[in-house]
Amino acid sequence: TVTEDDAAFQERIDDDQFIEPKDYMPEAYRKTLIRQIAQHAHSEIVGMLPEGNWVTRAPSLRRKLILIAKIQDEAGHGLYLYSAAETLGVARDDLVQELHEGKAKYSTIFNYPSLNWADIGAIGWLVDGAAITNQIPLCRTSYGPYARAMVRVCKEESFHQRQGYELMMAMAKGSEAQKEMAQDALNRWWWPSLMMFGPPDAESTHTAQSMAWKIKRFTNDELRQRFIDATIPQAEALGLTVPDPDLKWNEERGHYDYGEIDWDEFWAVVRGEGICARDRIRDRVNAYEDGAWVREAAEAYAAKQNQKAAV
Ligand code: FAQ
């Protein structure tokens, strides 16, 4: 049954108004947002790991500086997102604990290994490219704190995408061996990047309701197509080959047709069977435990400041 409150809420959504933390919202809307924002936050934090793998082996000081700055940005994104989730009445500590217990989802993409230096380029180009395609529309998602967090996140992701593409360009126009590394990275990251957009619309549990609530502004398949259409000319400019023999421009549709995505692989990675899944959680738990002294020091400092203020 739809209550009067629910009907008024839907009217506000239909009128493109933002919903703010203290406004009325249906419980299911709140739950969906907590789920999506928390998964998004976890993705940003776990997403630091594949790139962190290359910090000590970046080939020049310039590349190392760029990479460290990018990884630091991802940490910031995770923190804004946990804060946005907290406005819905959950505690960040609880969300983090669920991640560490292996109960929370994060993007499948971060369970693949980063094997050669060109992977850092491919991650920026493709993974950040896919992330922007998905997140630009989220700047107009119906929940105010999430939408506002996305504005800055998208600006930073655009820089990340550019640095990745510039790195790919250097590799693709470099020596024969560098070009091979670039092609190898594209071969391994292409399909997992397409999977970032989630299951096909027909199998997506949440899309219909999330579209009605304007949490999502486009469906998974719409955004996947938009990403493919934008990225193919970029691959051509690099002189690299996208590993999909069925990829073909469809004049009638005005879009690229593409081959079948391996959805069995996708669901296996969602279930936690990705190549790096265990390493990722172990690394996060270790980082959290190793950082305990920082949290304790911050708490001791805050207590001291409070004591001073009370005097
Ligand atoms: N991985 O009904 P739907 C980044 C799950 S970008 C894992 O379609 P929904 C930047 C889904 O949770 C990456 N699980 O779900 C960066 C649901 O399971 P549940 C993060 C997935 O929510 C770059 C079930 O399948 N971006 O981090 C995936 O309507 C470089 C059914 O799916 C975001 O999170 C997947 N790929 O649509 C950082 C963006 N796809 O919860 C470092 C915000 C689906 O029922 C380095 N999120 N599932 O148990 C979204 O836009 C949406 O949540 C979708 C999924 C589109 C991801």
* Nearest CA owner, ligand 1 atom 26: 40
- Residue 293 alpha carbon to ligand 1 centre in Å: 32
Per-residue pLDDT tens over the stretch 271-285: 999 999 999 999 999
Is any ligand 1 atom within 6 A of the Cβ of residue 223? no
Is any ligand 1 atom within 6 A of the Cβ of residue 105? yes
Can you list the pairs that 139-144 forms with residues at least 24 positions away whose Cβ atoms lie under 8 Å? 140/16, 140/214, 140/217, 141/214, 141/215, 141/216, 141/217, 142/13, 142/17, 142/18, 142/19, 142/213, 142/214, 142/215, 143/18, 143/19, 143/33, 143/84, 143/215, 144/18, 144/19, 144/20, 144/21
- Mean pLDDT over 280-309 rounds to 97
The pLDDT assigned to 248 comes to: 98
Name the residue type at position 155: K
The pLDDT assigned to 2 comes to: 82
Is any ligand 1 atom within 6 A of the Cβ of residue 195? yes
Is any ligand 1 atom within 6 A of the Cβ of residue 32? no
**Above 90 in pLDDT, residue 1?**
no
- Residue 5 alpha carbon to ligand 1 centre in Å: 29
Is any ligand 1 atom within 6 A of the Cβ of residue 199? yes
Report residue 311's pLDDT band, with 50, 70 and 90 as the boundaries. Answer: confident
Detail the DSSP E strand segments found in the chain: 248-250, 255-257
* Nearest CA owner, ligand 1 atom 32: 204
**Above 90 in pLDDT, residue 131?**
yes
**Above 80 in pLDDT, residue 3?**
yes
* Nearest CA owner, ligand 1 atom 53: 36
Rounded to a whole number of angstroms, the CA Rg of the chain reads 21
Of 80, 265, 270, the one to substitute when testing ligand 1's pocket (max ligand atoms within 8 A of C-beta) is 270
- Mean pLDDT over 2-21 rounds to 96
For the CA of 128, the nearest atom of ligand 1: 23
Is any ligand 1 atom within 6 A of the Cβ of residue 127? yes
- Mean pLDDT over 163-168 rounds to 98
The three-point CA angle 47-52-53 to 5° equals 110
The pLDDT assigned to 157 comes to: 96
Mean confidence (pLDDT) of the chain: 97
Share of the chain above pLDDT 90, in %: 99
Report residue 266's pLDDT band, with 50, 70 and 90 as the boundaries. Answer: very high
* Nearest CA owner, ligand 1 atom 34: 40
For the CA of 50, the nearest atom of ligand 1: 46
Whether the CB-CB separation of 181 and 118 falls below 8 Å is answered with yes
- Mean pLDDT over 111-140 rounds to 98
In 3D, which of 28, 6, 24 has the Cα closest to residue 206? 28
* Nearest CA owner, ligand 1 atom 17: 205
- Mean pLDDT over 275-299 rounds to 97
Of 34, 205, 266, the one to substitute when testing ligand 1's pocket (max ligand atoms within 8 A of C-beta) is 205
Report residue 71's pLDDT band, with 50, 70 and 90 as the boundaries. Answer: very high
Report residue 251's pLDDT band, with 50, 70 and 90 as the boundaries. Answer: very high
Per-residue pLDDT tens over the stretch 170-228: 999 999 999 999 999 999 999 999 999 999 999 999 999 999 999 999 999 999 999 99
* Nearest CA owner, ligand 1 atom 23: 128
- Mean pLDDT over 32-52 rounds to 98
**Above 80 in pLDDT, residue 139?**
yes
CA distances from 80 to 42, 74, 130, 246 (A): 11, 10, 20, 40
